[in-house]
A and B are shown apart, each in its own frame.
Chain A
Amino acid sequence: MLIKNKDSSFVPSSEITPKRVYVNRRTFLRNAGFAGAAAIGAGLLGRAAFPGEVRAGNPAAKIAGVQKSLLSTTGEKLNSLKDISSYNNYYEFSTDKYEPADLAKNFKTRPWTVTVDGLVKKPKTYDLDAILKMAAPEERVYRHRCVEGWSMVMPWIGFPISVLIQQADVLPKAKYVKFTTLLDEKQMPGTRRAVLDWPYTEGLRMDEAMHPLAIFTFGLYGEMLPNQNGAPLRITVPWKYGFKSGKAITKITFTDTQPSTAWNNAAPNEYGFYSNVNPQVNHPRWSQATERRLGEFLKRPTLMFNGYGDQVASLYNGMDLKKNF
């Protein structure tokens, strides 16, 4: 028997897609597609602000009694505080040079202690303020050459590392000094990923650390150092590539063997222990013969020992600097 449902072909009018809509189906899909693409595009355009739009941090406290040092570099145009404090290689905060200025703005630099240990008569933990009072603050204008091929000129404030070394009762067999940076995952978002071996470590040979040009730095442009530049205490070693000058130092260790250092661990063939600025020894991936001084269009030739050869070349007498790069 044939069962015939009379109404099988019946569709209520409410379910009929209006002609206007089904004719425009393609248009509708296309528009939906555009909306989606626009959303993706907006996401891709990403960067909320260009680097120049980033606000400078809080004004810092002035440092009293700063003496101008005779060891300052002369005849160079200083880079602006804004440039110096908005373009920072500070991987503990971010691998993007424009981000540390913002990410470090609430970084706690007090209370702060620095432990001096290793080959010393009596290991000791200093309060930061005790260290800052060890010597009169000096303004040191230095060239700063980054291993990436750019450079700046900055008016640092600090005092020679040798001052602390002399007070620390270092044992005669100490040959090297290792500087360790703070490791605090809460405050330093960059350290939550293993981009480098944290904490950041750097090192110098004793005679390098004792050299009058090698300084502890805690100020810039007459004021306390901005957090993104390594507050509250960093070192500055102007004849070496910038990464040798560790920031936010919490530990100083004297050793008789060459300490391991963060960048050397990361890529031993690219970043040697010495890492003296040397236009004749190229980075394996790029040339070190020239550099861009920030603020200039044309590149300048890079100077041996970053132009401090008269003062420091004798530290390396008889050494093959191509081997000991």
Chain B
Amino acid sequence: MKIRWSKIIVFSVCLIPVARLGLAAYQGNLGPNPLEFITHATGDWTIRFLLITLAVTPLRQLLKQYWLIQFRRMLGLFAFFYGTLHLTTYLWFDKFFVWHDIWEDVAKRKFITVGFLAFVLMIPLAVTSTKGMIRRLGKRWTQLHRLIYVSAIAGVIHYVWLVKADLRLPLTYGAILAVLLAYRVMKWAAPKLAASPTTAAASKA
């Protein structure tokens, strides 16, 4: 398989946030609460990559830039990558892999529950992202990968529910997600709405 330069460039750009975090950590520049900083940064990037992934389809269709599709899988896998880092910071720095405490948290604290759900839903998507799986699953692959909508919604709710008072950033993510999902609803509904009067007329005739 020929790897395009463009893919290498996008791949490298997607690694910038984690590289910058790593460098800042190395230089001791993460501030007084570095573990919290890493947790928040990786969480932010998980949601951002989910939104970027969801923006690919509307952008390629509206701008007629159909080649954009070639980056969608990579962007989605980066959402999973940052999500994995984010979950790891929680399991490690917050809970020190004490599974009993983790389970209690997941069961009791709804912002953890919904965040955990957002991550778990990404697992089957990452697993079935290979060419072979796409071929094997066929139509069901498309259906399965609609789970990203649920994952992104859960991710935004996770953020809204953990904030103390300032909802600006989580609601901004929520608004972007709403636009991206509304595009899909319209795309799905438009042909049906356009078709329905003719169908009605035809059945009368």
Show the binding face of A for B, using Cβ within 8 Å: 26, 29-30, 33-34, 37-38, 41, 44-45, 50-53, 79, 82-84, 86-87, 91, 95, 97-98, 148, 150, 152, 195-196, 266-267, 285-287, 292, 294-295, 297-299
Complex Cα distance, B35 from A295, in Å, reads 10
> CB < 8 Å: which of B29, B105, B164, B166 contacts A50?
B29
With a cutoff of 8 Å between Cβ atoms, the chain B residues found around residue A98 in the complex are 31
| A34 and B33 within 8 A (CB) | no
Complex Cα distance, B161 from A51, in Å, reads 25
| A148 and B65 within 8 A (CB) | no
Minimum CB–CB distance from A41 to chain B (whole Å) comes to 6
The reply on B107 being an interface residue by CB < 8 A is no
Interface string of B164-193 (1 = CB under 8 A from A): 111000000000000000000000000000
Minimum CB–CB distance from B59 to chain A (whole Å) comes to 9
With a cutoff of 8 Å between Cβ atoms, the chain B residues found around residue A38 in the complex are 13
Minimum CB–CB distance from B6 to chain A (whole Å) comes to 7
Q: List 6 A-B contacts (CB under 8 A).
A: A51-B32, A53-B29, A87-B32, A87-B33, A97-B33, A297-B35
> CB < 8 Å: which of A34, A41, A44, A86 contacts B31?
A86
Interface string of B36-65 (1 = CB under 8 A from A): 110000000000100000000000000001
Minimum CB–CB distance from B47 to chain A (whole Å) comes to 11
| B161 and A285 within 8 A (CB) | yes
Complex Cα distance, B35 from A152, in Å, reads 15
Q: List residues of B (44-94) whose CB comes within 8 Å of A's CBs.
A: 48, 65, 67-68, 93-94
| B162 and A33 within 8 A (CB) | no
What residue of chain A has the Cβ atom nearest to residue B13's Cβ?
A: A41
Q: Is the interface of B mostly helix, strand, loop or mixed?
A: helix
The reply on B11 being an interface residue by CB < 8 A is no
| A286 and B109 within 8 A (CB) | yes
Show the binding face of B for A, using Cβ within 8 Å: 6, 9-10, 13, 16-17, 20, 24, 27-33, 35-37, 48, 65, 67-68, 93-94, 96, 105, 109-111, 161-162, 164-166
Complex Cα distance, B165 from A267, in Å, reads 9
> CB < 8 Å: which of B6, B29, B94, B105 contacts A30?
B6
| B31 and A148 within 8 A (CB) | no
| A196 and B17 within 8 A (CB) | no
Complex Cα distance, B52 from A44, in Å, reads 11
> CB < 8 Å: which of B31, B161, B162 contacts A87?
B31
With a cutoff of 8 Å between Cβ atoms, the chain A residues found around residue B27 in the complex are 52
> CB < 8 Å: which of B29, B35, B105, B164 contacts A292?
B35
| B33 and A294 within 8 A (CB) | yes
With a cutoff of 8 Å between Cβ atoms, the chain B residues found around residue A83 in the complex are 32
What residue of chain A has the Cβ atom nearest to residue B167's Cβ?
A: A195
Known: A34-B6, A50-B30, A50-B37. 15 other contacts (CB 8 A): A29-B65, A41-B13, A41-B16, A45-B17, A50-B29, A52-B29, A86-B32, A91-B166, A98-B31, A195-B165, A195-B166, A196-B165, A287-B105, A292-B35, A298-B96
Complex Cα distance, B37 from A83, in Å, reads 14
Minimum CB–CB distance from A82 to chain B (whole Å) comes to 8
Complex Cα distance, B36 from A150, in Å, reads 10
What residue of chain B has the Cβ atom nearest to residue A49's Cβ?
A: B29
With a cutoff of 8 Å between Cβ atoms, the chain A residues found around residue B65 in the complex are 29, 33
With a cutoff of 8 Å between Cβ atoms, the chain A residues found around residue B110 in the complex are 285
> CB < 8 Å: which of A26, A87, A97, A267 contacts B67?
A26
| B33 and A150 within 8 A (CB) | yes
Residue of A45, A51, A82 contacting most chain B CB atoms (<10 Å)? A51
Minimum CB–CB distance from A127 to chain B (whole Å) comes to 33
| B161 and A44 within 8 A (CB) | no
| B28 and A52 within 8 A (CB) | yes
With a cutoff of 8 Å between Cβ atoms, the chain B residues found around residue A50 in the complex are 20, 24, 29-31, 37
| B109 and A285 within 8 A (CB) | yes
What residue of chain B has the Cβ atom nearest to residue A44's Cβ?
A: B48
With a cutoff of 8 Å between Cβ atoms, the chain A residues found around residue B165 in the complex are 91, 95, 195-196, 266-267
What residue of chain A has the Cβ atom nearest to residue B41's Cβ?
A: A47
